[in-house]
Structure 1
Amino acid sequence: MSVRTIRGNLLFWKIATVFSVLLIILGIVFVLIASKLSRSYYTMAHQELYGNVASHLASFTHPLKNGQPDTTVTHDIIHSIMVANPSVEVYLLDTTGKITDYVVPDKSVQNHQVDISKVKQWLAVKNGERPLGDNPKQPDEPGIFSAAPVYENGQLTGYVYAVLASEKQREILTTLNSHLYYCLGMYIFFCALGIAFIVGVITFFLITNSICDIAMVVRRFKEGDYSALIEGHAKGNLGMLTSTFNEMADVIVDNFDKISATDKFRQELIANVSHDLRTPLSIMQGYVETLMIKKDSLAEPEKNKYLSVVLDSSKKLSVLVEQLFQYAKLEANQVNPEKEQFLLSELASDILMAYQLKAKEKGISLNLNTEGNLPLVFADIALTERVLQNLIDNSFKFTSEGGSITIQLQQTSAGVKVEVADTGIGIAPEDQTYIFERYKYLHKDGLPKKGMGIGLAIAKKILELHQSSIQVNSAPGKGAAFWFVLPAVAGVGM
């Protein structure tokens, strides 16, 4: 037997047990209520059926003569009534409630006085519920009774007092109630057991059917079907289980997508790094081998030329490795901007000064256009410098001799706008969507692929750390302009 079957059986028996106990409790309560109502019903019925016994005795037998019981007349009649109806016990009372005569064993009568106020209260009630009175045989247990006044010559001389619920009646009722309890208990027990079984089976199948559906979806998800989700909008605990699993599945699928994207990035990284590092390494290796082979036959100018090529390749290699580490740190969220207030115009001027020699060698002019009284910006100086350097390096790659690169600084409502524009080959509209992605190259006819393709991606990542974004305006043959906005320090200008 499987664990799932055992758990299902346990669930079934738990449900069946709960319903059985509940129905048995309800059955016991029903028996108690039914017994109480039956006794109340019997009492009321007995009162209505035999409530006129005392009145008949008082009217037709004349039980009192000269205020004393006429035993010769009444005993036979009273005894006949008690034989015909054993539940009736008849007593004769004087006007104070004292018992003057009765036809029962003397030893069984424990109280020879009846509360006369109850008798008068009983006689005053014409219709409705009558009060309970004293039972001479059992003083502590009030019972139903019938009473009638006895008159002689128009004067009240006593009362006929008939107890309608006698000791004999109590014995009979006790026996009948015991039988009633037994029968009701047996019927209710078996009915409760049957109903609990039926309800338990139905509930078990309704619950386990939903659980089985959920288990099938979970199994499909476990086996690799990540599109498997639990359908339906159930309420309660199953609804919570459904929504929790679906949310968990979405998170897992999202994590799988991220892991897949990271793995794809790793493969691309290895392929691109191996390709881009191979070029400078190959150049360095070739020239070093040439120097070693021809070290005695090479003239000094040629040696210096070979060494300058090796140095240039090593610098390129260093830049590539540095860019690689920089982007890896940005991807891993290991870069935290250390923001401070500074002037963008001073930073841009220093950067352009550092590129003057390179611009002179390539015949490219560098320009800085800035408005007066620009406010201070609040950003990380080193990271902002890296963004400008990457944009300028990108412009150098695609700007031919005689062209120009311009940094434009302008105050806007959002802060200070920084624009790096060139007169290079430009970027086609269909390529502008991809230029900020890592390792994306623009393939131009006759133009060799340059760099690792992550300079613009690094710039984009850095600006995202400053809650900013980089934009591009360009067209083929009309150069390119990259711009972004850094937040200004309110109320501060230079």
Structure 2
Amino acid sequence: MKLSLFNRLVLAFVVTFSLLIMLFYHWSAYLESSVRLESEQSLHLNLAKHLAADNPLLQDEKFAYQDLSNLFHTLMMLGPNFEFYFVDPKGKILAFSADPGKVKSEFVNLTPITDMIAQQKPLPILGDDPRQPLQQKIFSAAPVYKNEQLTGYLYVIIGSEKAANLIASLKANKLRWQHFLILATILLFVAISMLWVFYLVTKPVKRLAKALSNIDPTQIEMAALAPWLSHSHHEVNQLGHSFAKLLQQNQALLVENRQQLQQLAQIDQQRREMLAGLSHDLRTPLASLQGYVEVLSQSSSSLSSPQQQQYLGIIDRNSQQLKDLIDQVFELAYLEGGQVQVQQEPLLLCEYLHDIKAKMQLNAERAGVQLHLQHQGDDILVTTDVAKLERILTNLIENAIRHTPQGGDVFLQVRKINEQGNQLHSSIALSIADTGVGISPDQLPYIFNARYRGASAKQGEPYRAGLGLTVCQKLAHLLGSDIQVSSAPGQGSRFMLQLPTAPLTC
């Protein structure tokens, strides 16, 4: 069975209140019983002492236990609320007045008796009831001496079994309805009050639940909750305000998700275009390779040696171009995977750049381009990943040579940059500049985009997809830097990369 919040609150209150009423009732009954027992025991505290002092049977040198039993019977007829026992110094019952089988215990515990006589504990003090061994009752007790020798104790139970049965019967007959009416009245009054309070409490909750249930999931972008007080001390108002705020956030997330979906669609479209461009770029050198290989295989006998060498050179250049393009595609995919490790280490930059210049010198000579290295001193120490820096420089220098006409120059430049004149916190500006044809302003913002296809820089130069610059920029980001470019048509281009200096210098 499913219960509403209102019904659950009512049920919880009724159960809790009933338990509290029962606890209060038993606690009140315990206090009443404790006060009654203490008052009765205080009132009859010296009863046994007076009986022991005034009764001649207890003063004789030799006890007549039958006479004591008759005396106890007479006293019980005069005072039905008392039961009389005479016990020896070890606690054994020697005389009493009761029907056969009524007294079920032959001994009583003497500790409560001695405590009362010595007045060592506060009242009420409970002792054993010989007629009901599992219960304890208040009592009065006094020692009995003969010739200054203890012969036993007069033990008087206050609240006899007969009196207890009579009181229980009266309570059952007279107090039952009284307690029921009082309890029912209290429960009815409190229940009505709490039902009204619960109604006031759950009314805003029902309002909020109704407002939430009226929201159409298909129109959630246009949904809105009624205004709730954000600074109210009422928890439901705070909850309603939180729901309204959450709904607004969800609406903003939906808008953002749709924008992201649109961006993903654009990226997917650009990816398709890039794949189409790559297939064209791969097909062009591949078709050239295939054509010249067929010419060589079918007409090799009719071709002169210079013609064969020319065709082989074209085949070599196209195969190298094809290899470079495939390498760039795989490298870009690897970098975009985000699993690249960076190994930072100190590096003597100028010595390293001399090695790079020597490595690229042959390519520059083949293209008829002069390669220059310009730096300030030989003791520049930087912290970088050597392999990734070499990949960046090689790619940028190859790109500069490719876009510089014969007789042009390519410069590899190093310059220190101090932060606010502090020599301890400086960086190195590493630039690759050329005197080529430059980059047009409309293409400049897109040259690092792998999906952008620009025009070729040289007349007769095969079309390039531009993946190399994208790879360089991603590698620069891994090194904690960024490649900046400046260019003007007809004046060449400059690509600059900043590297942090190492803590120690050479």
Report the TM-score range of the alignment, normalised by the length of the smaller protein: 0.5 to 0.7
Distance (whole Å) between structure 2 residues aligned to residue 208 and residue 265 of structure 1: 51
> Which stretch has the larger CA shift, 190-199 or 312-321?
190-199
Shift, 1:206, TM fit: 5.1
Contact residue 397 and residue 450 of structure 1 kept, 8 A: no
2:22 aligned with 1:24? no
Deviation at 1:199, TM superposition (A): 6.3
Counterpart in the other structure of 1:434: 446
- 2:471 aligned residue: 458
What is the DSSP-based 3-state SS (H/G/I as helix, E as strand, rest coil) of the residue aligned with 1:407?
A: strand
Paired with 2:221 and 2:287, the residues of 1 have a C-alpha distance of 46
Q: Secondary structure at the match of 1:405?
A: strand
* Structural mapping, 1:288-437, within 5 Å: 288-412=293-417, 413-429=425-441, 431-437=443-449
Q: Aligned partners of 1:216, 1:403: CA distance in 2, in Å?
A: 74
Aligned to 1:470: 483
Deviations 1:294-322 (A, max 9, x none): 44543443333222222211110000011
Relative to 1, partners in 2 of residues 1:275 and 1:444: Cα closer, same or farther, differing over 3 Å? closer
Larger mean CA deviation between 202-211 and 421-430 belongs to: 202-211
How far apart, CA to CA, are the structure 2 residues paired with 1:174 and 1:106? 26
1:182 aligned residue: 180
CA distance in 2, matches of 1:348, 1:308: 30
Q: Please state whether the residue corresponding to 2:505 is helix, strand or coil.
A: strand
Q: Tell me the distance in 2 between the aligned counterparts of 1:379 and 1:189.
A: 81
Aligned Cα root-mean-square deviation (Å): 5.3
Task: Letter of the 1:485 partner, please give it.
Answer: Q
Q: Partners of 1:281 and 1:462 in 2: how far apart?
A: 29
Which whole-Å deviations, capped at 9, do the CAs of 1:228-287 have from their partners, x for residues lacking one? 99998886899699879969x969949976976774564344223212212111211222
State the distance in 1 between where 2:465 and 2:206 align.
58
Letter in 2 for 1:489: A
Number of residue pairs matched by the alignment: 379
> Following TM superposition, by how much is the alpha carbon of 1:465 offset from its aligned partner in structure 2, in angstroms?
1.3
Letter of the structure 2 residue corresponding to residue 365 of structure 1: Q
SS in structure 1 of the partner of residue 504 of structure 2: strand
Q: TM-score, normalised by structure 1?
A: 0.59
Q: Give unpaired runs (5+ residues) of structure 2.
A: 33-49, 52-76, 84-136, 140-163, 418-424
Change beyond 3 A, Cα 1:266–1:361? same
Q: Tell me, in whole angstroms, the C-alpha distance in 1 between the residues paired with 2:473 and 2:466.
A: 13
Please state whether the residue corresponding to 1:492 is helix, strand or coil.
Answer: coil
Contact persistence 2:354–2:373 (CA under 8 A): yes
Do the aligned partners of residues 211 and 336 (structure 1) sit closer, same or farther apart at CA in structure 2, a change above 3 Å counting? farther
Identity of aligned residues (%): 27
Q: For residue 148 of structure 2, what is the aligned residue in structure 1? A: none
Note the C-alpha offset of 1:483: 1.0
* SS in structure 2 at match of 1:179: helix
Higher relative contact order (CA 8 A, sep 6+): 1
Residues 52-201 of structure 1 mapped to structure 2, 5 A cutoff: 107=79, 177-190=175-188
The answer as to whether partners of 2:350 and 2:380 remain within 8 angstroms in 1 is no
Q: 1:286 aligns with which of 277, 284, 291?
A: 291
Residue deviations 1:213-242 (CA, integer Å, cap 9, x gap) = 67888x94xx79799999988868996998
Partner Cα distance (1:286, 1:310) in 2:
9
Q: Give the aligned residue type for 2:340.
A: V
Verify the 8 A CA contact 2:380 2:505 in the aligned structure 1.
yes
Q: Could you tell me how far apart the structure 1 residues matched to 2:282 and 2:351 are? A: 35
Displacement of 1:332: 0.7
Is 1:28–1:185's contact at 8 Å kept on the other side of the alignment?
Answer: no
Where 1:301 maps in the other structure, the secondary structure is helix
**Structure 1 residue identity aligned to 2:438:** G
Tell me the secondary structure at the aligned position of residue 425 of structure 1: coil
Question: Which range moves more in the overlay, 445-454 or 271-280?
Answer: 445-454
- Per the TM alignment, residue 353 of structure 1 is displaced from its structure 2 partner at its CA by 2.2
C-alpha distance in 2 between matches for 1:212 and 1:292: 84
In structure 1, how many angstroms separate the alpha carbons of the residues matched to 2:373 and 2:173?
116
Task: Say which SS state the counterpart of residue 346 (structure 2) adopts.
Answer: strand
CA distance in 2, matches of 1:350, 1:291: 38
Distance 1:381 1:254 in 2: 42
Give the aligned partner of residue 498 of structure 2: 485
Instruction: Verify the 8 A CA contact 1:287 1:310 in the aligned structure 2.
Output: yes
Alpha-carbon separation, structure 2, partners of 1:229 and 1:388: 57
Instruction: Tell me the SS of whatever aligns to 1:366.
Output: strand
Task: List aligned pairs for 1:241-252, cutoff 5 A.
Answer: none
Q: Is the Cα contact below 8 Å between 2:476 and 2:483 reproduced in 1?
A: yes
> Counterparts of 1:415 and 1:297 in 2: how far apart (Å)?
61
